[in-house]
Amino acid sequence: MSDLTNFIATNADWFYLVGAILFVLTLRGLSSPKTAIRGNRFGMAAMAIAVITTFFLAEGPILWMIVGAMVLGAVVGMWKARTVAMTQMPETVALMHSFVGLAAVAIALATVLHTEEAYSTITRLELFIGCFIGAITFSASFFAFGKLAAKSWAKTLVGGWVKPVQAILFIAMIGFGAVYFMTDSLPAFYAMTVLAIIFGWMWIAPIGGGDMPVVVSLLNSFSGWAAAGIGFTLGNSMLIIAGSLVGSSGAILSYIMCKAMNRSLLNVLFGGMGTTAAAAGGDDGAPKNYKAGSAEDAGFLMSNASNVVIVPGYGMAQGRAQNAVKELYELLKEEGVNVRFAIHPVAGRMPGHMNVLLAEADVPYDDILEMDEINSDFASTDVVLVIGANDVVNPSAKEDPTSPIFGMPILEVTKAQTVMVIKRSMSTGYAGLDNSLFYMDKTMMIFGDAKKMVEEMVRSINGGGH
């Protein structure tokens, strides 16, 4: 055992280098559905190398605590991976980010309490940054989990008092952190940690549901920076590298998603579109006429079309309709119809939500196109089938300067010859905005559960003599 320990300790930098390369390959693999499984395997191997190497480098580890925690974590993780529904994936991701933040706080507190000797200036700075970012990540991600899971306690905060309170909390948090940094005062460190936890909650609570995909992506970035900060404190290069990769990739993804919404990150985090949308949407309350149809009508139109585009939204996830949609896709393909999927960057409740669902149903990647790739094709499309999407196909983003989403790039489904929309009701989307698409002459509303309606479309095509 001692020989193995000496070997790993002597070559730890090489093991960490291999782990770092595997983490880079992980991100490269996860950039495409085609290579996502391979990317996940690289990540598993990298984490195994990192954990084993660190385990053998630890001085006087308490084996039963470490092994017990690892086994318990593995059991819970495998159970959740097997049982979590795809509709619960966004809140599950947010909850995992929360745990990363909590781990960073726990490590910082343990480090502070580890010795009575004063830490160096640079170490106190690392603890200061790592702990408050971790604390913010913990509470903010936990609130995001509650909001995405529709928990009663995750209530959106509104009112003119919110931003002043946020500012006071943030200034006080930085102030106590600065006191700790300059004086090594433990009470100041504790006060900073508590204020950071409260600030994280207050910071995310006013943000509307329509902005949650960006919030989840940003909190992913924060969890990475928290891990990197603690990595400096512990002197663990692997933790620094892995945290930096997660932090930078999350930040880049947040930027891409904000660009897709034509909004700045500051506007998303402090503008509160989702909380003001209902009031600013320009709806005068007058009754509007819309055209309703049946699943049989939809099946007939699609089976007799040349080009069909399917636009999935959260309604598809909520109805767990992805496999039924795959069956519809295959059936139309057999009929000689050119069928493709159009994906908006912020569709659903988390980054890549629709891609994950379609990948789960084994929809061919070549027929899943992003917004920029397919927008120019809508003008030559016979039928568009929108499944539970609202804000990402809302023409107000292009036509109504008073709309909170004005300027946001959308899937331009209004250019198609016919648009069909599956919705449970005429209620607004997650951002609280009405959608003028639903009242156009070319639009047919199909009311009902997404899975049930798509299955009826499949039956109508199968029974229609095609």
Q: Where are the alpha helices (DSSP H) in 290-395?
A: 295-303, 314-318, 322-334, 353-360, 371-374
User: Beta 418-423 vs 338-343: how paired, if at all?
Assistant: unpaired
393, 413 Cβ separation under 8 angstroms: yes
Paired tokens of 390 = 């609202």
Catalytic residue among 372, 391, 434, 441: 391
346, 260 Cβ separation under 8 angstroms: yes
Residue with tokens 């070997």: 7
* Per-residue 3-state assignment (H helix, E strand, C coil) for 417-432: CEEEEEECCCCCCCCC
In the chain, what is the straight-line distance between the N-terminal and C-terminal CA atoms, in Å? 70
* Per-residue 3-state assignment (H helix, E strand, C coil) for 62-83: CHHHHHHHHHHHHHHHHHHHHH
Calpha distance 46→28 (Å, rounded) = 14
DSSP category for residue 409: -
- Residue 264 sits at the vertex; the CA angle it makes with 262 and 266, to the nearest 5 degrees, is 150
Q: Is 366 a residue of the active site?
A: no
Calpha distance 379→178 (Å, rounded) = 58
3-state secondary structure of 381: coil
324: buried, middle or exposed (CB in 10 Å: 19+, 13-18, 0-12)?
A: buried
Calpha distance 337→48 (Å, rounded) = 47
Number of H helices, E strands in the chain: 19, 6
Contacts of 213 (CB under 8 A, 6+ apart): 257, 346, 348, 349, 350, 351, 353
> Among 215, 216, 241, which residue's Cα sits nearest to residue 230?
241
Q: What positions carry a catalytic annotation?
A: 391
